[in-house]
């Protein structure tokens, strides 16, 4: 018997339901409000949509005035990746700092407070946490966004984060399945290829995702990565073997048994858009088992939504996408929206406004090979600044200069880049730095120095010329500690900078490798 395709209106509503589009502006455009009335169930917010908590609450209230059962999603990991505090830096350290402390109760408390603030602004779906095991130190896109390189540590903190976030009524979306840690390629720019075999995948990448599912994560986000051991042709987001055969299938069939919402990473990322295009990519993703299409980080207009909606409807009518698969995906989106309404908007989460700074202080690791005197006079902060990855963005401030200037008024700062080093040469760059610093104590701030040869060269040259330079590493502390002292913050959130500034000026700094870092 031939399959009976439902009405055009029903198909359109289902196609709209599986989209999670972004938009521009700090108020809702008319086209978004109209699409909500036509069947859109989700929207994604980004830094461009956020001016203040009050404005954000007004915006989400405006959206819910059209549709009460609305999923409002945001990419708020805390740490380096923040949307709520994109212009000032996050009040919460990121995953690597929490993993460094390795106190799951603290991780749970941080996530609960973050969830409480999200819920207070009307957000009920967070595209977090990152459950990636940062097994490749050269990884340009995960790094401090991971709880670490040990699968078991990542697993227990992923579970604690989910429990904390969802206790505040905000659905967690664990990412990036099946694991984006073992790559040196950023999927925003190209398609990463991960050569790990299936045994390695089971023993490393999948360990945190099993823990996330056991902890009750309401959603999982797919990664735009190619794993030939799993599927030699399709990236995970478009792979039935990854989404249906591995993530969705029950344990008895070799799967993880996840029954919640599967969300794609941004379809405008070049790992998908450059090869498939977002329309074709979206059809393949839904057919493979994805339920929601995230789009809007760079494409945030009505035309994108119209094209995606039309493409999905056409794919059903042409027999390319089973109508039952689209209906199932839409039902899963609506089911999560229903859960968020019944979960409560953070009503059970007691405020803990200082928990982020407490965590950042505990995450500090400070070493010094020679006695070190705390800073008491204005310093010169030399920020060796790499290009920011797209997930982090280049609008969010980082470093220690602002907090150090607060503690030591008159502190000055300057930024040094790879382009400057290439233009003048490392020796000339450091000579100019020291001339500008004059007799001030120098604080060199670096970020993933192990991944940037120019930065490592400049730091070595600086320390040779002025050995008593303090070094603050705000990325992954992969290189041996250098400087007097060397401070590893395990992230570049505002509170990490504050904790480092406090340590540089404190008379009671913990001068021991692996110390708890309480100031």
Residue 188 is a catalytic residue? yes
Is the Cα dihedral 478, 173, 83, 388 positive or negative? positive
Measured CA to CA, the distance from residue 159 to residue 174 in angstroms comes to 10
- Please indicate whether residue 265 is annotated as part of the active site: yes
For 11, the token pair is: 């198909």
Contacts 24+ apart (CB under 8 A), 325-331: 325/286, 325/287, 326/11, 326/14, 326/15, 326/18, 326/286, 327/6, 327/14, 328/291, 329/14, 329/17, 329/18, 329/286, 329/290, 329/291, 329/292, 330/13, 330/14, 330/15, 330/17, 330/18, 330/41, 330/291
Residue 446 neighbours by CB under 8 Å, 6+ apart: 384, 455, 459, 471, 472, 473, 474, 475
CB within 8 Å of 493: residues ≥ 6 apart:
78, 79, 80, 82, 89, 90, 91, 92, 93, 94, 97, 356, 360, 398
What proportions of the chain, in percent to the nearest 5, are helix, strand and coil?
45, 10, 45
Asked if 416 and 443 touch (Cβ cutoff 8 Å), the reply is no
Name the residue among 318, 248, 337 with its Cα closest to residue 288: 248
**Cβ atoms of 94 and 142 closer than 8 Å:** no
SS3 310: helix
CA-to-CA dists, residue 219 to 264, 302, 496, angstroms: 10, 26, 29
**Catalytic option among 188, 224, 234, 490:** 188
**Residue of 265, 291, 448, 486 marked active site:** 265
Q: What distance in Å separates the CA atoms of residue 203 and residue 177, rounded to the nearest whole number?
A: 14
Calpha distance 469→299 (Å, rounded): 44
Do strands 486-488 and 365-367 pair parallel, antiparallel, or not at all (unpaired)?
Answer: antiparallel
C-alpha to C-alpha distance for 362 and 109, rounded to whole angstroms: 14
Which residues are designated catalytic? 188, 265
């Amino acid at each position: 018997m031939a399959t009976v395709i439902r009405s055009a209106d029903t198909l359109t509503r289902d196609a709209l339901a599986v989209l999670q589009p972004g938009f521009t502006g700090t108020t809702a455009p008319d086209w978004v409000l109209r699409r909500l009335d036509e069947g859109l169930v989700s929207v994604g917010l980004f830094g461009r949509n956020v001016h203040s908590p009050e404005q954000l609450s007004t915006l989400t209230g405006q959206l819910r005035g059209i549709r009460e059962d609305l999923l409002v999603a945001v990419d708020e990991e805390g740490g380096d990746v923040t949307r709520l505090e994109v212009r000032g830096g996050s009040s919460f350290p990121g995953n690597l700092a929490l993993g460094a402390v390795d106190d799951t109760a603290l991780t749970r408390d941080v996530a609960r407070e973050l969830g409480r603030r999200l819920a207070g602004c009307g957000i009920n779906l967070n595209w977090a946490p990152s459950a990636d095991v940062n097994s490749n130190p050269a990884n340009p896109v995960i790094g401090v966004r991971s709880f670490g390189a040990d699968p078991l540590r990542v697993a227990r903190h992923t579970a604690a984060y989910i429990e904390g976030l969802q206790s505040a009524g905000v659905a967690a979306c664990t990412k990036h399945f099946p694991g984006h840690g073992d790559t040196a390629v950023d999927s925003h720019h190209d398609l990463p290829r991960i050569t790990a075999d299936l045994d390695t995948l089971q023993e490393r990448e999948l360990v945190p995702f099993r823990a996330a599912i056991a902890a009750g994560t309401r959603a999982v986000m797919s990664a735009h990565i190619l794993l030939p051991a799993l599927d030699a042709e399709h990236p995970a987001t478009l792979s039935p073997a990854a989404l249906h055969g591995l993530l969705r299938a029950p344990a008895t069939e070799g799967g993880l048994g996840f029954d919640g919402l599967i969300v794609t990473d941004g379809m405008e990322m070049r790992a998908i858009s450059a090869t498939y295009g977002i329309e074709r990519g979206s059809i393949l993703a839904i057919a493979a088992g994805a339920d929601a299409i995230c789009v809007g980080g760079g494409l945030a207009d009505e035309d994108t939504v119209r094209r995606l909606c039309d493409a999905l409807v056409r794919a059903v009518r042409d027999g390319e996408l089973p109508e039952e698969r689209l209906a199932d995906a839409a039902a899963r989106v609506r089911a999560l929206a229903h859960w968020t309404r019944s979960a409560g908007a953070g009503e059970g989460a007691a405020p803990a406004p200082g928990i982020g700074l407490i965590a950042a202080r505990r995450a500090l690791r400070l070493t010094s090979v020679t006695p070190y005197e705390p800073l008491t006079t204005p310093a010169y902060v030399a920020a060796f600044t790499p290009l920011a990855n797209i997930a982090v963005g280049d609008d969010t401030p980082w470093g220690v200069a602002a907090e150090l200037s607060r503690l030591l008024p008159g502190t000055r700062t300057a930024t040094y880049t790879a382009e400057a080093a290439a233009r003048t040469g490392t020796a000339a760059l450091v000579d100019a730095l020291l001339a500008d610093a004059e007799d001030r104590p120098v604080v060199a701030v670096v970020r993933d120095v192990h991944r940037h040869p120019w930065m490592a060269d400049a730091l070595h040259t600086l320390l040779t010329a002025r050995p008593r330079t303090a070094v603050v590493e705000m990325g992954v502390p992969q290189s041996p500690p250098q400087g007097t002292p060397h401070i590893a913050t395990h992230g570049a959130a505002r509170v990490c900078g504050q904790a480092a500034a406090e340590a540089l000026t404190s008379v009671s700094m913990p001068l021991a490798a692996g110390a708890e870092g309480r100031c």
